[in-house]
Structure 1
Amino acid sequence: MKLLSKLIFCLIISTSSVYAQVRLPQLVNDNMVLQRDAKVNIWGWATAGEKVSVKFNGKSYHTTTKADGKWIIVLSPAKAGGPYTMDISASNHIILKNILMGDVWFCSGQSNMTVLMERVKEKYPDEIAQANYPQIRNFFVPTVSDVRQVHEDLPPGKWQEANPQNVMSFAAVPYFFAKKIYLKYHVPIGILNSSVGGTPIQAWISENGFKSMPEYMSRIAKFRDTSFIRQISQPAVINPKNKPFLLPDKGLSGAIKWYDTSFIAQNWHPFFLPGYWADQGVKGLNGVVWFRKEIAVPASMAGKPAKLFLGRIVDADETYVNGVKVGNITYQYPPRRYEVPAGLLKPGKNLIVVRITSTFGKGGFVPDKRYELTDGTTKIDLRGDWHYQVGQVFPPLRRSAGNVESGFAFSAQNEPTGLYNTMVAPTIDYNIKGFLWYQGESNTGKPQEYGPLMQALIADWRSKFNQPNAPFIYVQLPNFNEVEYSPVESNWAEVREQQLQTLSVPNTAMAVAIDAGEWNDIHPLDKKDVGDRLALAAEKLAYGDAKVVSSGPVYQSAKVEGNKIILNFSSVGSGLMAKGGGELNQFAIAGADKRYVWADAKIAGNQVIVSSAQVQNPMYVRYAWADNPEDANLYNREGLPASPFTTDTK
């Protein structure tokens, strides 16, 4: 009995010791960058009443843990510099090393704020090789979402220094931003990147941020109903009544697999690559389609390691060279860049086979991408004639979430507050220089909502971070989708207009990216221009460099004079110009009926005069008003593009 009592006593002491241990948030860690010239919060958790001491930069600080288990210490402002060590003492002892004082930028948005340097390594090989900037640090927040409660900390992560190895996992836009700022001001830069691909802006706003939006508040209120959450969180399942009979993939079910070099392809159909099978004789098919091509490899290339570029593929692929699988990707967006190992290529005939699985939309090979096999010296162009055969057909499926049938299951990361609760709220005690935002693609379905939501986001974050005047700098949506050759309505243009109007919010700036997109890729590779333009905006807005021309021309006002409309701009720099020379493009004009036609537009000093013989009583002008306004060429002489706009801002 005495032995049992001793064991219980030891267990109590041990448990108390565990709970007394000081715990730090993920952000407060080795290699972190703390905000210079500002009071800085250092916080964590411990047993209520536990005394905590922090030594940093020659000063000591003391506090006592509050009843809720949280403690916080405020460090005195310090100039840029380091590296420093931080000593934290309580019942346990923690030493943090290699800390810098500099500028911390909170970067957020959707996938274009997450595209890694690894993704753009072929475009920027020198940038990666020369990325030796130990005073540029990156913390990438892993994805987690929750609509039910605010989380106290982030998922596990770490601060990393920029070097040729680490930089591959840095997002490209914030890296180029940080590099440009660092090289100009020689101040350590911390990138705190909290972004998730495919997410809408409303997921990043707190509940308080929606106070003036009843529709969203109603949705958020439902999240407090556990039965509602349980219902909508049910995994999407195939309705048994509609469950189809699915034949196996012929390419994998036969005696000889279709990727095998011994397989004899008979009655396969011709296909011109790149392209989509819906455009080449296969209508409305979701399923598995196999493609094959025989190529001739020169003796000089045989046996060498090589790289196979297959552009982008919709949706998933498995790729084989001479019967050997060299790679696969399960969704459409990443570029296909597969390593072909040494010894696999042989002189003469070689076989490439691609098995594509498409579940929605047009499957196939995205045009205007890189399709080649190369060993670094010799290049074999893979565009042209291939052959295909259908391996499996997917009947249309309906899925059910709870008792409501839909094509998609509930996802907290797409719901209001779903990402704020988990990927913003745990960071709000971390002092920052400002915000960078690159998002909007997922809100093009309801473009008129975007402006109010964006203004709500800015106000919400400034309030939560307790930095009411923090610079907020954002990217306007780039060009994307097919080119239209007549004036059209455009949801992407509407979102850009909402973003342009958000410049009315104090201490904001916008990087125009209308020339940095790709018609066939929602994740364009030109991330350096975008990052550099964000940096230009920061130089003026956040760093007070009044001499910097930080933006291209921004529409300010219009005046009707007879059959002409005269436009005035800010940010003209040293003057307006038509990039590449020639006439201005992408100006459209309309009368009261708002039927837009292409217009003649001419630069006159710092104004643009717009007219058309088809519109004698003009009232409105649009510029670059399309998803993808090809050859929009109004720039200032500093080489920065004008923002798309409309004078009809009812």
Structure 2
Amino acid sequence: MQTSLKLAAIFTDHMVLQRNKAIVIWGQASVDATVKVSLLKGQQNLSTQETQADELGQWQLSLPAQTAGGPFELRVSQADNTVHIQDVLVGDVWLASGQSNMEWKLSWQVDNWQQEVADSSNGNIRFFELEKSYNAQPQSHIPSSGWKIASPATSSEFSAVAWHFAKRYQQHTGIPVAIIDSTWGGTPAEAWTSTTALQTIKGYEKDATDMLQNAQQWQDEFNHNDQLEQQKWQMLDSPDAYADGEILKADFDDSPWTPTNLPTDENTPLSHIVWARKHLQLSTKAQKVKINIGELNQIGRVFINGQQVYKEGWQDTTQELEVPADVLQLGDNIIVIRAVNSWDNRVLIGKKDHFYLQLDDTKLDLSGQWQVSNDIEPKIPDVKFYNWKSGVLFNAMIHPVINYPISGVIWYQGENNVGANTLYSDLFKGLINDWRVQWQEPALPFLFVQLASYLKQQDQPINSDWALLREAQASALTLPNTGMAVTIDIGDADDIHPRNKADVGERLWRAAQHIVLNEDIPYSGPSIKNVEAKIVAGKNVLVVAYEHVHGGLNIKGDELRGFAIAGSNGKFVNAQAVIAGDTVIVSSAKVKQPQSLRYAWADNSPANLYNSANLPAVPFRYSFDQ
């Protein structure tokens, strides 16, 4: 019985092949069948190769490398069965991977996203997104809906960082540029690393060995967990509880519910699917009405007098919004909130000083007692984060594409490894080396984003897990053909997903210009060259010499910030810092004999040192005792 000829799912119309590298094609055919593959341009046959399928019907062959161009046709045949793949381009293909900040789509309210989408028509930029999947064993199936050509109809769902990277790349080179998007928010680096590699990385040996030795048991558990996951997501946005409108009415009997003070805070979260109701008595009508819930973590709906006035997804930021004035009425009004947290089941509603209904110029504080219940709908199933387990994302979302030649990798991840900082340096370098082994390219370019600032800025220097993670990330620069985009200056204290993705893509692109295209351009912010202790004007100072100054050091603002020094007691204090040529002179009257120095060493730093290319300086710490 003849098996239908199939190619791996990455081989579809509109695909992009990597230029200047052998073109690897693979798929499924009848057992022992002869498979012929040709690359054509118009009527011209550029290359043809044949191979024989094995005893499982699997086959793979290579065509000679091509220079950038197209469109081409890829023609694959077995006996009288032929597959035609049209509109094939040859250019530079990049794998974009990591967690949510790389996954973050243009339409998820990134800065200027609507204009970006409107202007996105470009037949030479194409995206291929792998669907989220995890597995206990390496997979060959590629879960995806195929290649997408950049246009206003498609680009809203492109990774914003990858889009800005690809756009700059394509504009500069003029060649086709493709992104293979393999991302999953909230995932750690060990999930993206093969278990064979993890067996050699300190701190991960045991889990990796367990996954290798008990793969089937783990997969059975994963399958059960996936069923619970499906149930959970069906519940999260189900309209069943309010479809008849009864729970939204003012006269609905909520007396059995629990009187609860809102807003909540981190120490008093709610759980499961939460319903909250509050009555408001109004004696006057307003011309302009706004509502601000402050916090709706992380999925929710808000109704006023039975009418939905707001809907928030997990990727949205709660904002003040205008609502139709006629939704309110004289006398009794009812505000109803439905909220649920798909991430950790810790539901937060409201935020101090940002929880109000505004009627013209009058703000009505919504803080205080609400009637609250989480018994209206079934409890959310206990779904485990098995996509965090060692190797499982590598198996399902990286291994299936390791035969596909690429130009390099852009990577944005680390948030989920904050707290495991001492392990991350070896882990991250191990991941890079692992992927280079998998692609059989020891010098495969690997460009990554250093974590942005996050959480509240502190007045005084304190220890920081985020700073330690950034240091661990930077240690990967000791590997060849790596580049780092510093983003310490474009974070958001209140949002782990900063919405400025354009600068992130731009900085990754600069690294690609230098490392991949060998262009002599500024690609890094100022980085520490050395530190010397000196006496200047009668006081002890530390002089930091920088490289990558590219025309000079600059600051944004009226004074240089972000430096801290300590004496032999190890207690850091904020320091004064001034630029002197390609150096920065750092001192403090509180530290007579400085021994240690830090820059941008905080969860969220006010650091503001740049070079003339407007690239921020690299955070660091230095001690004469190290």
Q: TM-score range by the shorter chain?
A: 0.7 to 0.9
1:277 aligns with 2:257: no
Of 384, 392, 414, which residue of structure 1 is paired with 2:373?
A: 392
- In structure 2, the residue matched to 1:363 is 348
Of 26, 33, 38, which residue of structure 2 is paired with 1:55?
A: 38
3-state SS, counterpart of residue 157 of structure 1 = strand
Alignment of 1:408-487 (within 5 A): 410-487=384-461
Measure how far apart 1:226 and its partner are: 6.0
Measure how far apart 1:105 and its partner are: 0.2
1:126-164 alpha-carbon deviations (Å, 9 max, x no partner): 1111111121100111011012x1101211321001101
Of 572, 577, 582, which residue of structure 2 is paired with 1:601?
A: 577
Which amino acid is 2:371 matched to?
A: V
3-state SS, counterpart of residue 524 of structure 1 = coil
CA contact 2:263–2:348 (8 Å) conserved in 1: yes
CA distance in 2, matches of 1:367, 1:128: 35
3-state SS, counterpart of residue 583 of structure 1 = coil
CA contact 1:514–1:641 (8 Å) conserved in 2: yes
3-state SS, counterpart of residue 561 of structure 1 = strand
CA contact 2:493–2:604 (8 Å) conserved in 1: yes
- In structure 2, the residue matched to 1:4 is none
- In structure 1, the residue matched to 2:6 is 23
1:363-385 alpha-carbon deviations (Å, 9 max, x no partner): 12468999999xxxxx9899762
Classify 1:35/1:139 alpha carbon distance in 2 versus 1 (closer, same or farther; 3 Å): same
- In structure 2, the residue matched to 1:583 is 559
Of 529, 532, 547, which residue of structure 2 is paired with 1:559?
A: 532
Of 166, 179, 189, which residue of structure 1 is paired with 2:167?
A: 179
Classify 1:366/1:444 alpha carbon distance in 2 versus 1 (closer, same or farther; 3 Å): farther
CA contact 2:121–2:151 (8 Å) conserved in 1: yes
CA distance in 2, matches of 1:26, 1:155: 7
Measure how far apart 1:220 and its partner are: 2.2
1:70 aligns with 2:52: no
CA distance in 2, matches of 1:181, 1:292: 53
Which amino acid is 2:613 matched to?
A: E
Classify 1:61/1:339 alpha carbon distance in 2 versus 1 (closer, same or farther; 3 Å): farther
Q: Structure 1-normalised TM-score? A: 0.81
CA distance in 1, matches of 2:97, 2:216: 32
CA distance in 2, matches of 1:123, 1:632: 25
Which amino acid is 1:133 matched to?
A: N
- In structure 2, the residue matched to 1:114 is 103
Alignment of 1:343-382 (within 5 A): 345=326, 353-357=336-340, 361=346, 363-365=348-350
1:647 aligns with 2:599: no
CA distance in 1, matches of 2:363, 2:99: 32
Q: Structure 2-normalised TM-score? A: 0.84
Identity of aligned residues (%): 31
RMSD: 3.7
3-state SS, counterpart of residue 145 of structure 2 = coil
CA contact 1:475–1:513 (8 Å) conserved in 2: yes
CA contact 1:451–1:499 (8 Å) conserved in 2: yes
Which amino acid is 1:578 matched to?
A: I
**Structure 1 segments unaligned to the other structure (5+ residues):** 1-15, 237-251, 374-378, 401-407
Aligned residues: 587
CA distance in 2, matches of 1:524, 1:312: 17
Measure how far apart 1:257 and its partner are: 4.7
- In structure 1, the residue matched to 2:112 is 123
CA distance in 2, matches of 1:481, 1:421: 33
Measure how far apart 1:325 and its partner are: 3.6
CA distance in 1, matches of 2:353, 2:51: 61
3-state SS, counterpart of residue 462 of structure 1 = helix
Classify 1:129/1:53 alpha carbon distance in 2 versus 1 (closer, same or farther; 3 Å): same
1:521 aligns with 2:495: yes
CA distance in 1, matches of 2:573, 2:248: 53
Measure how far apart 1:215 and its partner are: 4.2
CA contact 1:205–1:420 (8 Å) conserved in 2: yes
Classify 1:113/1:291 alpha carbon distance in 2 versus 1 (closer, same or farther; 3 Å): farther
CA distance in 1, matches of 2:292, 2:423: 40
1:25-81 alpha-carbon deviations (Å, 9 max, x no partner): 111111111011221111112233211111213222211123443222212121211
1:262-317 alpha-carbon deviations (Å, 9 max, x no partner): 5699999998xxx94238xx956546352658799877x89xxxx99866521332
3-state SS, counterpart of residue 647 of structure 1 = strand
Of 525, 529, 550, which residue of structure 2 is paired with 1:573?
A: 550
**Structure 2 segments unaligned to the other structure (5+ residues):** 226-240
Alignment of 1:48-447 (within 5 A): 48-57=31-40, 58=45, 59-91=47-79, 92-120=81-109, 123-147=112-136, 149-213=137-201, 215-223=203-211, 224-225=213-214, 229=218, 257=246, 259-260=248-249, 276-278=263-265, 283=268, 285-286=270-271, 288=274, 290=276, 313-325=296-308, 328=311, 332-335=314-317, 345=326, 353-357=336-340, 361=346, 363-365=348-350, 385-387=365-367, 388-392=369-373, 410-447=384-421
3-state SS, counterpart of residue 277 of structure 1 = coil
Measure how far apart 1:499 and its partner are: 1.2
